Amino acid sequence: MVAGLVKVEGFNSVFKRYTENGNEQAFPIPARELFMFSHSVPAYRFVGGERNGMSEGMFELDPLAVPEVLDCIMAKSSEERSSSASSALHCPSSPLLDLYPRAESLKLKWSAKDFASDQLWAVYDVPDSMPRQYAVVNNVVSGSEVCVTFLEPFPMVDEEIYWVKEKLPFVCGSFRAGRTTLTLGMSQFSHLVKFERITNRSFYKIYPKKGEIWAMYRNWNSRWKQSDLSRYQCQIVEIITDFSDESGLIVASLVMVPGCTRFFQRQLCDGFELIRAVPRKEMLSFSHQIAAFNISGIEILGVPEDWWHLEPDALPPNFGN
């Protein structure tokens, strides 16, 4: 037996059971029709109470595993349901699976009202579609496009000069407004970036801030080349302190919550959190910021308040605990 799910209004990845006249709709799938199943979708089930529009029994689905075409609806009449199990769902004839590259499958999640002049955004960049490039908003062009000016690295020390010369991703340090102005689709924007001005409007200082979530390269060293980046792996960390030139910053290692592809928690070893200092000279080991949030009070839904919910589109392709 299976029960149909429908998207909860106001959420992109939260689903609930489909009901008709207050009754949940379920139907059998005969053994001869098991070929109907496409794939399993990782999901987290909320338990206990109601909060922020979510209630017990709802599911949060991994958006990367949800088909691009998802307008299947439950059949409306009992007569249709009784005809055959396969008629209980009405689906379009187009393929359900989106096989385009990751960058092209990003869902539009921003609107014109989210953008304003002089905002600084991280945008998804080649070759692996991670948000490593920074862009300043000039103006909104249309309901789906924004005109931006890209920032360029402004290396200050020898390690940074080498890194930029090797054309490796430069995400922490000093930047200046570049000469490249483009119009981008809103789906290419990841998150707003916190920054500090340097001397005048054209220069920016960007470093991880306390409370942010970042990806860091594993086995990193400052003499990497492009060939090293092609096989990189990452770990996910929470920034514990703000950056300073004298002491760098402190990070805590995060690990994925088992069975929850978008929830992360602090990593423990013998009951102690794994925390370490990252000095100024190792700022190049940061890959990119990952948009994330935690919700105070959500523990009544079975999610501890110290868990982090990470933007799946910004999770690096190779990361481990």
196 shares its domain with 219: no
- Report the DSSP pairing between strands 145-153 and 130-140: antiparallel
- Looking at 206, 237, 263, the residue that finishes a domain is 206
pTM of the model: 0.67
pLDDT value at residue 241: 97
pLDDT (0 to 100) of residue 72: 39
Residues 6+ apart with CB under 8 A from 300: 48, 49, 51
Same domain, 36 and 113: no
Q: Are residues 176 and 233 in the same domain?
A: no
* End residue of a domain, out of 99, 131, 155: 99
Same domain, 126 and 67: no
Does one domain contain both 39 and 80? yes
Judge if 217 and 314 occupy the same domain: yes
If you ran DSSP here, which 8-state letter would residue 244 be given? B
Residues 46 and 123 in one domain: no
**Whole domain around residue 288: which residue ranges?**
208-321
The rounded distance, in Å, linking the Cα atoms of 274 and 294 is 20
For the segment 126-157, what is each residue's pLDDT rounded down to a tens digit? 778 899 999 999 999 998 999 999 999 999 99
Q: Confidence class of residue 298 from pLDDT cuts 50, 70 and 90?
A: low
| pLDDT at 85 (0 to 100) | 38
Task: Count the alpha carbons within 13 Å of 207 in the hemisphere toward its beta carbon.
Answer: 22
- Determine the pLDDT at residue 225: 92
pLDDT (tens digit per residue) in 73-123 = 333 333 343 444 333 333 333 332 232 233 333 444 788 999 999 999 999
pLDDT per residue as tens digits for the range 194-248: 999 877 667 999 999 999 999 999 999 999 998 888 888 999 999 999 999 999 9
Span 54-61, mean pLDDT? 80
174-187 average pLDDT score: 93
Question: Do 122 and 64 belong to one domain?
Answer: no
Pair 68, 152 in one domain: no
Whether 39 and 91 map to the same domain: the answer is yes
Express as a percent the part of the chain with pLDDT over 70.
79
Task: Give the CA radius of gyration of the chain.
Answer: 23
Q: Which residues contact 233 (CB under 8 A, 6 or more apart)?
A: 217, 218, 219, 316, 318, 319, 320
Query: Is 212 found in the same domain as 197?
Result: no
| DSSP states of 28-39 | ---GGGGGG---
Q: How confident is the model at residue 43 (pLDDT cuts 50, 70, 90)?
A: confident
Number of domains in the chain: 3
Residue 4: band (very low, low, confident or very high) from pLDDT cuts 50, 70, 90: confident
**pLDDT tens per residue, range 262-274:** 889 999 888 888 9
Distances (CA, A) of 154 to 61, 164, 167, 279: 41, 9, 13, 19
Q: Of 162, 191, 206, which marks where a domain is finished? A: 206
Q: Are residues 170 and 215 in the same domain?
A: no
Count of C-beta atoms within a 10 Å radius of residue 194: 12
